[in-house]
């Protein structure tokens, strides 16, 4: 980097939430014409630090300077006035309004939608966005909504942009598009900060990385001079093995057969359309698809979880091959379907809900002992097994959930978004657990949103698109681009919503 004045200088920033020190004397520079990746495990303080730039939190200690001048940022409006815009993980758009209406919402002065639309078109043209100013938000895909959020920030004149885990909700193609736009903005002299857990994205996009650990600034360096291994070690504080193993399945035998499965929701909308496949023992079958393509319905149908059971159409659409099959389901909603937040770890060990299960405790351990085993084996960070589950962090809750399902010695394990929002270290612990289940002969059905991980972990990948199977490909040698295309197109045709 050259010696130009940073767009943002954060000096000695400390932020506490009660006893938690979310940021501990952090120093950070952000430059124009640069994309900075802000890295750190879950809870390391990334969002908090950036929220002090966007005016959501105010530091307890330390100073912030913009272009070398010390500033006080008390509100999101102060941040906008300084040219700082943040795209949060959860969008804040009004569904019934159009893109243009959302973009100008809250701005002072007379509302001139025509002029606004012109300006929006100009911004889109300059950076390569595709937004129809007149389209209503409720008609938009997640990626289109995100684009509106970005245009909204640019419309207000932001030249310092912060994106908090923007790719968590995007397909690979959408991510590529976003990155192209971010590069255009960088080349146009804007300062960009991106928070992401995905190392290949950091490597593909950023010019520099900065690492936080337990609220402290650990270091920064040009992306070219580092690699995924070094960055991960810095985030975690000790060496971490970054390979996902994929042993050849041993003696795979059909265990779950799905034939012509069709599911409609309560309103009668088709969610799964004639889905057929086989899941084998000792194998990981990955399910890929964009959000809303039917993965959730598929898992719920197999687990027999809810009212959809009555709506299954077709003769015997599900058959489970062996007697005494025990099905485990690690749902996407950790503190809803999976675990009860107010109950402690031990009590949660007794709760399981699925269709065909043997008795829960095949190893006849008491729930208390089982909870202690899970905590020890999976390195769950908790004061004890009597702690209410809601007090644990997301990664630890997920470990408890997976640990509990595995403890029941299932022969089929279903997992939905097992690592959603988890940092790299917790994610690898979960991959390892899943691989150990495969090695033990379990038929694993893994629904995941990180295509890179699916390509490394799964023996076969079933791709869903609009409720239909657009293909089943071997995991070894599968091409990301091709699978990505199958996620959005059926046999070359545009899929229906
Ligand atoms: N509003 C809040 N109230 C209390 N604690 C918070 C709040 N926001 C964040 N924290 C805590 O601060 C720490 C850092 O959180 P966060 O900045 O969200 O981390 P990251 O974005 O890196 O995952 C965590 O321990 C988190 O629980
Ligand atoms: Mg965060």
Are 105 and 195 within one domain? yes
Are 355 and 459 within one domain? yes
In this structure, the dihedral spanned by the alpha carbons of residues 163, 34, 208 and 484, taken in order and rounded to 10 degrees, is 50
Please tell me if the CB atom of residue 47 comes closer than 6 angstroms to any atom of ligand 1. yes
Are 69 and 183 within one domain? yes
Concatenating the DSSP letter of every residue in 104-172 gives HTT-SS---HHHHHHHHHHHHHHHT----TTSBGGG--HHHHHHHHHHHHHHTT--EEEEESGGGG--H
**What is the spatial distance between Cα 82 and Cα 54, in angstroms, rounded to a whole number?**
10
Is the distance from CB of 417 to CB of 332 less than 8 angstroms? yes
pTM over 0.85? The answer is: no
Tell me, what's the pLDDT at 494?
41
Average pLDDT of the segment spanning 166-186: 86
* 437 is a domain residue: yes
Per mean pLDDT, which range of 55-59, 142-146, 346-350 is the poorest? Answer: 346-350
Query: 362 pLDDT band (50/70/90 cuts)?
Result: very low
48 C-alpha vs ligand 1 centroid, how far in Å? 6
Concatenating the DSSP letter of every residue in 450-477 gives -HHHHHHH-SEEEEEETTEEEEEEESTT
Query: 322 pLDDT band (50/70/90 cuts)?
Result: very low
Are 122 and 174 within one domain? yes
112 Cβ contact partners less than 8 Å away, ≥ 6 residues apart: none
**What is the spatial distance between Cα 330 and Cα 404, in angstroms, rounded to a whole number?**
9
Q: Last residue of some domain: 173, 202, 236?
A: 236
In this structure, the dihedral spanned by the alpha carbons of residues 255, 258, 264 and 266, taken in order and rounded to 10 degrees, is -20
Backbone phi and psi for residue 186, each to the nearest 5 degrees, phi listed first: -60, -45
Q: Last residue of some domain: 175, 204, 236?
A: 236
273 C-alpha vs ligand 1 centroid, how far in Å? 42
**What is the spatial distance between Cα 201 and Cα 220, in angstroms, rounded to a whole number?**
17
What number does the ligand 1 atom closest to the CA of 423 have? 23
Are 203 and 330 within one domain? no
Tell me, what's the pLDDT at 231?
96
**What is the spatial distance between Cα 442 and Cα 279, in angstroms, rounded to a whole number?**
10
* 2 is a domain residue: no
Is the distance from CB of 244 to CB of 453 less than 8 angstroms? yes
What number does the ligand 1 atom closest to the CA of 393 have? 27
* 247 is a domain residue: no
Which H/E stretch holds residue 69? strand 69-71
Q: What is the pairing mode between strands 34-39 and 191-195?
A: parallel
- Hey, CA dihedral for 74, 75, 78, 80, is it positive or negative? positive
Q: What is the mean pLDDT of the chain?
A: 85
* 249 is a domain residue: no
**What is the spatial distance between Cα 70 and Cα 63, in angstroms, rounded to a whole number?**
7
Concatenating the DSSP letter of every residue in 4-17 gives PPPSEEEEEEEEEE
Please tell me if the CB atom of residue 331 comes closer than 6 angstroms to any atom of ligand 1. no
* 428 is a domain residue: yes
Which listed ligand is nearest to 19 at the C-alpha?
Answer: 1
Are 369 and 306 within one domain? yes
Are 195 and 285 within one domain? no
CATH code for the domain in which residue 349 is found: 3.40.50.300
Please tell me if the CB atom of residue 23 comes closer than 6 angstroms to any atom of ligand 1. no
* 243 is a domain residue: no
> pLDDT tens digits for 107-139?
888 878 899 999 999 999 988 888 999 999 988
Contacts 24+ apart (CB under 8 A), 355-361: 355/303, 355/304, 355/305, 355/327, 356/304, 356/320, 356/325, 356/326, 356/327, 357/326, 357/327, 357/328, 357/408, 358/324, 358/326, 358/408, 358/409, 360/408, 361/407, 361/408
Are 215 and 268 within one domain? no
Q: Last residue of some domain: 236, 269, 301?
A: 236
Are 325 and 181 within one domain? no
Are 302 and 201 within one domain? no
Q: How many structural domains comprise the chain?
A: 2
Please tell me if the CB atom of residue 40 comes closer than 6 angstroms to any atom of ligand 1. yes
Higher-pLDDT residue of 154 and 318 is: 154
Among 46, 48, 60, 396, say which to mutate for ligand 1: greatest number of ligand atoms within 8 Å of CB. 48
Higher-pLDDT residue of 393 and 450 is: 450
Give the angle subtended at the CA of 24 by the CAs of 167 and 160, to the nearest 5°: 40
Please tell me if the CB atom of residue 367 comes closer than 6 angstroms to any atom of ligand 1. no
**What is the spatial distance between Cα 436 and Cα 445, in angstroms, rounded to a whole number?**
14
Is the distance from CB of 185 to CB of 193 less than 8 angstroms? no
453 Cβ contact partners less than 8 Å away, ≥ 6 residues apart: 244, 419, 427, 431
Are 180 and 285 within one domain? no
Matching residue, tokens 């430059």: 31
Check pLDDT > 50 for residue 380. yes
Query: 355 pLDDT band (50/70/90 cuts)?
Result: very low
Which listed ligand is nearest to 40 at the C-alpha?
Answer: 1
Are 305 and 394 within one domain? yes
Tell me, what's the pLDDT at 310?
42
**What is the spatial distance between Cα 217 and Cα 24, in angstroms, rounded to a whole number?**
8
Measured CA to CA in angstroms, residue 22 lies from 16, 397, 420, 441 at distances of: 6, 20, 22, 43
> pLDDT tens digits for 269-287?
888 999 999 999 999 999 9
**What is the spatial distance between Cα 25 and Cα 34, in angstroms, rounded to a whole number?**
24
Both tokens of residue 182? 């971010």
Domain that holds residue 27: 8-236
> pLDDT tens digits for 418-435?
787 677 887 888 898 889
**What is the spatial distance between Cα 256 and Cα 217, in angstroms, rounded to a whole number?**
49
**What is the spatial distance between Cα 95 and Cα 494, in angstroms, rounded to a whole number?**
25
- What single DSSP character describes residue 35? E
* 107 is a domain residue: yes
* 380 is a domain residue: yes
């Amino acid at each position: 980097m050259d010696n130009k004045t940073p767009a943002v200088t954060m000096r000695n920033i400390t932020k506490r939430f009660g006893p938690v020190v979310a940021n501990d004397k952090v120093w950070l520079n952000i430059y124009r014409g640069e994309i900075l990746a802000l890295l750190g495990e879950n809870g390391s303080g990334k969002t908090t630090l950036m929220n002090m730039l966007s005016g959501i939190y105010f530091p307890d200690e330390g100073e912030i300077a913009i272009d070398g001048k010390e500033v006080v940022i008390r509100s999101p409006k102060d941040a906008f006035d300084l040219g700082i815009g943040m795209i949060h993980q959860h969008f804040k758009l009004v569904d019934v309004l159009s893109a243009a209406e959302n973009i100008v919402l809250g701005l002072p002065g007379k509302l001139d939608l025509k002029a606004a639309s012109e300006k929006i078109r100009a911004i889109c043209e300059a950076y390569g966005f595709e937004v129809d100013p007149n389209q209503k938000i409720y008609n938009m895909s997640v990626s289109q909504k995100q684009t509106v959020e970005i245009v909204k920030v640019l419309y207000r004149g932001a030249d310092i942009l912060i994106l908090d885990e923007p790719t968590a909700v995007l397909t690979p193609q959408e991510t590529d598009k976003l990155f192209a736009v971010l590069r255009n903005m960088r080349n146009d002299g804007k300062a960009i900060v991106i928070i992401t857990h995905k190392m290949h994205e950091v490597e593909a996009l950023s010019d520099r990385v900065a690492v936080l650990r337990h609220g402290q600034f650990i270091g920064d360096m040009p992306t070219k001079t580092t690699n995924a291994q070094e960055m991960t070690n810095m985030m975690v504080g000790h060496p971490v093995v970054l390979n996902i193993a994929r042993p050849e399945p041993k003696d795979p035998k059909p265990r779950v057969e799905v034939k012509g499965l069709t599911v409609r929701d309560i309103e009668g909308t088709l969610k799964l359309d004639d889905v057929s496949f086989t899941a084998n023992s000792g194998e990981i079958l990955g399910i890929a698809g964009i959000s809303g393509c039917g993965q959730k319905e598929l898992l719920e149908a197999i687990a027999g979880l809810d009212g959809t059971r009555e709506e299954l159409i077709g003769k015997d659409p599900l058959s489970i091959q062996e007697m005494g099959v025990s099905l485990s389901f690690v749902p996407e909603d950790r503190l809803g379907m999976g675990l009860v937040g107010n109950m402690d770890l031990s009590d949660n060990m007794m709760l399981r809900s699925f269709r065909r299960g043997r008795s829960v405790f095949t190893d006849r351990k008491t729930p208390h002992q089982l909870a202690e085993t899970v905590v020890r084996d999976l390195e769950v960070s908790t004061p004890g097994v009597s702690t209410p589950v809601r007090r644990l962090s997301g990664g630890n809750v997920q470990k408890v959930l997976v640990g509990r399902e595995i403890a029941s010695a299932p022969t089929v394990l279903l997992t939905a978004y097992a690592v959603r929002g988890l940092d790299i270290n917790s994610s690898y612990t979960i991959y390892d657990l899943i691989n150990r289940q495969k090695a033990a002969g379990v038929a694993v059905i893994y629904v995941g949103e990180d295509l890179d991980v699916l390509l490394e972990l799964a023996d076969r990948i079933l791709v869903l698109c609009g409720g239909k199977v657009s293909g089943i490909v071997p995991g070894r040698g599968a091409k990301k681009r091709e699978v990505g295309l199958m996620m959005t197109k059926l046999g070359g045709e545009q899929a229906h919503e």
